[in-house]
């Protein structure tokens, strides 16, 4: 309903009539006719109060309709009819709300009821408007054929499962059969929900985000995995509203991308987010937040006590956004998978975090690692199985452990040592003096290892060479299956790694980069079973062999 239509709908409140009543009131006052004065003044007050009440109720009904809160909007429209049954505004609003939901048959009934009450003689404009609205509703109702009813149920379900999120949200108003099926099978249809409106100038994508957000009253309870990736503040607030009201009853995984995290920069937005997280604390097991937000990590962990997986990426120093970990009280034993990124993990800051999570099995420090972090991990992570050091974007294949399966989080920790270690694929290598003790400690459990021993930031700054061959003479891998090794700039660690695989019969894949001890490597490989894959890079050229 437009502003013009609203004014037309309120036309039965006759300003001339209102002025007449005020005029009569003044005359009664002048003539000192108190009985008439009370009568006319009361009528004027009643009329004005009714007008203001109806106007505000209509505004509420309009706003709630635009937010897809149709039940509340219809209640407001029915209140208007109750307080002003002789005015057309309530019927027009109610009919419009029903039309928005595709309920043409019900809107026809509303328009017919209004036509019986509104006089064509007293208000021909509104009467004509009701006639036109009824005619349009009749045409929609008669021409709309629900072909979906004619399809086999199996075909209907297959079609819906193939639709995009936007098309599914639209399907609520396409067919009663589809709507019923999606409500009954919501846990399948709406298990994953991605709301993306990253390009503010992309009107179509924005409209898609709006359509999906408008279906939240129907689908929120079914969503298991929610990803918010958009710049629109109003859409962000819509999701936070429904989450804060407890609509996301089964939410297990919640992701906020770096683009969307821009919405969390004020104290008010911080409190809104924490309140929303508190409402899903019993079911939420995975939290993934990227970007600089005005929320301490300690606060997030306090409001999400049942997390099993945490991903938190920020561009600040770790101790800047860590917060006061003491608010957690006792150690949290449920968290087993942690991925962290910061500008720098300064000495001691990581320890404050690790002390509260003794059961971490997978720890990926994506960026910002310092040499002393390796010592801290060895000291505090006794159940660690997978470790990454500056490993953002690492693509090393992982076949044995699937970190997306529920069984991984439910099984007890093996406490048998680290099985996977990843370092940076490019750029600076890992500091030798801190890294080799970690490898020696876990030599018998490691199965996949990417050891980038190339120039470290310390060596780039002029640190002298460290010859380690005499420090770890008997270091042997026993279960290693895949090794990627980048030689250091002094080739001081090559012999250590070649000797470490000398008796490793489990080795299947070997990738060696920048090595010079080819003869020693060949002599070692001759004694081992055939490899599935061998890659030698940056020698004189790239040589690649693969077992067929």
DSSP string across 357-423: -TT--EEEEEE---THHHHHHHHH-TT--EEEES-TT------S--TTSHHHHHSPP--S---EEEE
Burial class of 149 by CB neighbour count within 10 A (0 to 12, 13 to 18, 19+)? exposed
3-state secondary structure (DSSP) of residue 70: helix
Any idea which residue has 């039940």 for tokens?
Answer: 71
- Give the sign of the dihedral formed by CA 236, CA 240, CA 241, CA 246: positive
373: tokens are: 């972090």
Any idea which residue has 């359509």 for tokens?
Answer: 211
Q: Of 518, 539, 521, which Cα lies nearest the Cα of 531?
A: 521
Task: Give the count of domains, the chain.
Answer: 1
What per-residue confidence (pLDDT) applies to 357? 95
Which contiguous run of DSSP H or E holds residue 287? Answer: strand 286-290
Crossing angle, helix 89-100 and helix 34-66, to 10 degrees?
10
382: tokens are: 């006794």
What per-residue confidence (pLDDT) applies to 9? 41
What domain range includes position 98?
Answer: 3-143
Any domain includes 166: no
Q: Of 363, 357, 411, 356, which Cα lies nearest the Cα of 385?
A: 363
- CA angle, corner 288, sides to 291 and 456, nearest 5? 65
Any domain includes 29: yes
Any domain includes 128: yes
What per-residue confidence (pLDDT) applies to 125? 81
Any domain includes 79: yes
Q: Where are the alpha helices (DSSP H) in 164-263?
A: 165-171, 176-184, 186-189, 203-214, 216-219, 233-244
Domain with 11 in it: what CATH number?
A: 1.25.40.10
pLDDT in tens, 348-393: 899 999 999 999 999 999 999 998 999 999 999 999 999 999 988 7
Instruction: Count CB-CB contacts under 10 A for residue 20.
Output: 13
Q: How many CA atoms lie within 13 A of 269 on its CB side?
A: 16
Distance CA 317, CA 346 (A): 7
Any domain includes 82: yes
Q: What is the mean pLDDT of each run of 10 residues along the chain (548 residues)?
A: 43 48 71 75 75 86 86 90 86 89 85 85 81 86 64 70 67 65 66 61 61 81 88 86 93 90 85 95 95 89 96 90 92 94 90 95 93 92 93 61 57 77 86 90 94 76 58 78 90 88 95 90 93 86 45
Any domain includes 427: no
pLDDT in tens, 29-38: 777 777 777 7
Which residues make beta-bridge pairs with 225? 192, 253
Alpha-carbon 485 to chain mean position: 37
What per-residue confidence (pLDDT) applies to 88? 85
pTM of the entire structure?
A: 0.68
Any domain includes 519: no
């Amino acid at each position: 309903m437009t502003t013009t239509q609203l004014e037309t709908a309120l036309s039965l409140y006759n300003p001339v009539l209102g002025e007449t009543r005020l005029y009569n009131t003044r005359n009664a006052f002048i003539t000192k006719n108190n009985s008439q004065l009370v009568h006319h003044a009361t009528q004027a007050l009643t009329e004005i109060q009714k007008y203001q009440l109806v106007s505000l109720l209509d505004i509420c009904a309009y706003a709630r309709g635009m937010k897809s809160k149709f039940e509340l909007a219809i209640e407001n429209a029915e209140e208007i009819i109750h307080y002003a049954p002789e005015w057309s505004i309530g019927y027009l609003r109610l009919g419009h709300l029903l039309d928005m939901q595709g309920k043409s048959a019900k809107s026809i009934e509303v328009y017919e009821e209004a036509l019986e009450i509104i006089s064509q003689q007293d208000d021909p404009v509104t009467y004509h408007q009701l006639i036109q609205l009824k005619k349009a509703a009749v045409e929609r109702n008669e021409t709309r054929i629900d072909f979906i009813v004619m399809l086999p149920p199996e075909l209907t379900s297959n079609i819906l499962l193939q639709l995009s999120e936007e098309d599914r949200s639209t399907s609520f108003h396409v067919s009663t059969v589809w709507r019923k099926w999606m409500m009954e099978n919501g846990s399948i249809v709406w298990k994953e929900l991605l709301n993306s409106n990253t390009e503010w100038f992309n009107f179509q994508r924005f409209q898609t985000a709006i359509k999906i957000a408008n279906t939240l009253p129907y689908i929120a309870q079914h969503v298991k995995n929610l990803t918010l990736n958009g710049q629109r503040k109003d859409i962000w607030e819509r999701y936070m509203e429904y989450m804060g009201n407890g609509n996301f009853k089964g939410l297990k995984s919640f992701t906020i991308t770096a683009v969307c995290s821009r919405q969390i920069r004020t104290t008010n937005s911080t409190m809104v987010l924490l309140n929303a997280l508190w409402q899903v604390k019993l079911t939420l097991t995975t939290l993934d937040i990227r970007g600089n937000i005005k929320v301490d990590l300690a606060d997030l962990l306090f409001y999400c006590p049942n997390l099993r997986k945490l991903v938190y990426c920020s561009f600040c120093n770790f101790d800047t956004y860590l917060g006061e970990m003491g608010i957690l009280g006792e150690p949290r034993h449920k968290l087993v998978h942690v991925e962290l990124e910061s500008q720098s993990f300064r000495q001691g800051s990581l320890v404050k975090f690790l002390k509260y999570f003794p059961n971490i099995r997978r720890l990926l420090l994506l960026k910002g690692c310092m040499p002393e972090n390796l010592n801290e991990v060895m000291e505090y992570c006794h159940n660690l199985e997978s470790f990454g050091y500056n490993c953002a974007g690492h693509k090393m294949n992982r076949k044995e452990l699937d970190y997306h399966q529920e069984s991984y989080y439910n099984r007890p920790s093996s406490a048998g040592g680290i099985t996977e270690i990843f370092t940076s694929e490019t750029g600076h290598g890992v500091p030798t003096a801190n890294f080799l003790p970690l490898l020696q400690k876990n030599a018998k459990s490691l199965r996949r290892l990417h050891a980038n021993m190339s120039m470290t930031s310390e060596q780039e700054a002029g640190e002298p060479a460290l010859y380690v061959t005499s420090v770890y003479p008997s270091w042997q891998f026993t279960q290693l299956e895949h090794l990627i090794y980048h030689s250091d700039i002094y080739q001081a660690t090559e012999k250590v790694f070649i000797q470490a695989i000398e008796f490793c019969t489990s080795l299947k894949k070997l990738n060696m980069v920048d090595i010079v001890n080819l003869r020693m490597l060949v002599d070692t490989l001759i004694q081992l079973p055939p490899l599935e894959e061998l890659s030698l890079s940056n020698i004189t050229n790239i040589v690649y062999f693969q077992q067929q």
